[in-house]
Every structure is written in C-alpha cells, then in structure tokens.
Structure 1
C-alpha cells in the first residue's frame, strides 16, 4: 500500500492492486486484513510507533524544537504516504482514522497513567493539532521549508500544550 500511495490517491488503490504489488493472492490479503481500511489502520499504527520511538528521547529532554524538526523530517521521509493518508482526497475519513490510531498508540506508549480528564484532553488536542497542522503543511509544502514548519509546530502546538500540564482547572 505504501508503494502504491506514491503513484495514486488512496481511494484509487484497490485490494487487488495491493495484493499484486505484495506478490500475494487476492484471498491471501483477507487472511491478514478484513479490508483496505484495516490495512490502513495497521500502516498508521506502524508509522505512529516508529515516529514515537524517534521523538520520545527528545520529548523526555524537553527538546520541543528537536521533536518538531524530527516530525518534519519523518513526514518528508514518508512524504508520499503522508500525502495519501492525511492530505489526500480521502481527507477527513483518513485523518479521523489516523487520529484514532495515533491516540491508541500514544496511550499505550505513555510513561504514566492519565491524571484525569485533562490529561486525556491534552493528548487528544496534541495529536489532532499535529495531524491537522501537518496536513496543512503538506498542502503548502513548496512555500514552507521543514525548519520553518518545525518552528510553527513548536510555537503553535508543542509549547502551549506543554504548559497545560502545569496547572489543571479544578476537577480535571
């Protein structure tokens, strides 16, 4: 699927095309995945896990700019796939699935249990904001270099969200 996403929009990729590119039979695909969306969920999960493994040390060191730059580099390394997944014609549906997958993966990767509803909301806000900002960047890639985009992500999302943990409202 990732190779096919380089050549065509996600909605134009069929299970038959995926199976053919993978060198497996059509029925074999369904032994592993219920449908194309299940494969998409797996791809999103793998991308998220790989990305989290890369930026976790930067976030632990509180290097927000480094984490944002790493995000931009990661997106560029997987540009065709990210364009297909979050900036492509499937738009909202795919971003919603990626958000769901990213939230699940981030929840599993957390080093601590959520301290309350605010912690859950912070993660939702962080992940959804980053996905939408990256989708915007992918539509404007020619106009904004990765270093500038990293600064935007740091200033617009990471720094404000980082400050939310310090003083939660009562009851959250």
Structure 2
C-alpha cells in the first residue's frame, strides 16, 4: 500500500513526468529529422534518442505517426507564436518575413515535416492554432468569411513553404516573404 506522500500518487508530479517525456520525444524527433527522413525513423530510434524505454513511448503515443503529428502540432504552434503577434502591430510583410526566417532557422525540421510526409499534419495544426488565435489576426477582407480565410491562408502558407523547401531552396527568406506577401497575404489582409 502506498502512502499519501508517495510521489506516484501526486497528479502534478505525474503531469510533470508526462510533459517531460513528451518533450523528450519531441526533442528526439527534432534531432532525428535533422539526420534523416520521417520514413527512416523508427520508434526504437525515437526511444533511444529520447533516452526512454521502448514501452514508455507507447504510454504516450500509439504510433510513430501520432508522435510526428504531436511534433508537427508543437512546431506549428511555435511558428505562429513567433509570427502572428507581428500582424497586429505591423504589416503582413513583416509577419511573413518573421515566418520565413523561423522556417529557415529550422530548415531541416520544416523540410522533413513539409516535404517528408507530414504536410497534412502541419496544415491541420496551423489552421487549428490560427483559429484559436483569431483575436491576434487583423480583420481580413469583408468579402471573405474569417473561418474560410484562415483555412485558405494556412493552406497557401503551407503550399508556399513546401514549394520553397522542395523546389526553390536557393531563394532567401526575404524573397519567399515577398512572394507570399504579393500573391496572397496583402490580398487577404488588404492594404495596410
């Protein structure tokens, strides 16, 4: 029988352990994605890199794809945290430039996510996180319903980033930000 002071019974400690293990799995995926493609990564690789037991992985994720979806969700949230606040204080180009610089600084991870089979996870996560942060967005055009504009904008961002990383890697973040701003960001936000 365990006593009330047993750390195993403390829900806060359990939550901390869960967060610590999930963060270790995400960090492992980030490291592994810098070395190889999603297809090459195994659950054993993730567990070894995260310094957790193989069975511990399955206490948190049922499949490798679930762990990758979680990692993509975290990466999408970080990307939006770095860029969306700029939209409320600046123009669309400034925010788009911040987005492109963030992707360039984490290029291996974003290449793996967007060109290695996780683009749908990223698109879905970006749309969900953007919708959650709707109050940070400046108003879009009157002719475009906000929820549809969010889906449209995130889809175009994902497609443009995927194109850049897969087919135009020689372009600088500034060039890609200009392309995004001219082709759809300024049109969706209107001249500001």
Q: TM (normalized to structure 2)?
A: 0.76
Counterpart of 1:127 (choices 120, 130, 154) is: 154
Equivalent residue pairs, number: 159
8 Å CA contact retained: 2:73, 2:121? no
Larger radius of gyration: 2
Counterpart of 2:62 (choices 30, 34, 51) is: 34
Q: Distance in 2 between matches of 1:128 and 1:38?
A: 21
Q: Distance in 2 between matches of 1:141 and 1:21?
A: 31
Q: Distance in 2 between matches of 1:73 and 1:142?
A: 13
| Superposed CA RMSD | 2.2
Of structures 1 and 2, the one with the larger relative CO (CA 8 A, separation 6+) is 1
Q: Distance in 2 between matches of 1:120 and 1:152?
A: 23
Q: TM (normalized to structure 1)?
A: 0.84
How far apart are residue 56 of structure 1 and its match? 2.4
Q: 1:85-124, aligned counterparts within 5 Å? A: 85-88=113-116, 90=117, 94-111=118-135, 118-124=145-151
- Is 1:155 the counterpart of 2:182? The answer is yes
8 Å CA contact retained: 1:44, 1:102? no
Counterpart of 2:173 (choices 130, 140, 146) is: 146
Task: Extract unaligned runs of 5+ from structure 1.
Answer: 164-172
Helix, strand or coil for the counterpart of 1:6? Answer: helix
Aligned partner of 1:52 in structure 2 is 80
Q: Distance in 1 between matches of 2:121 and 2:115?
A: 13
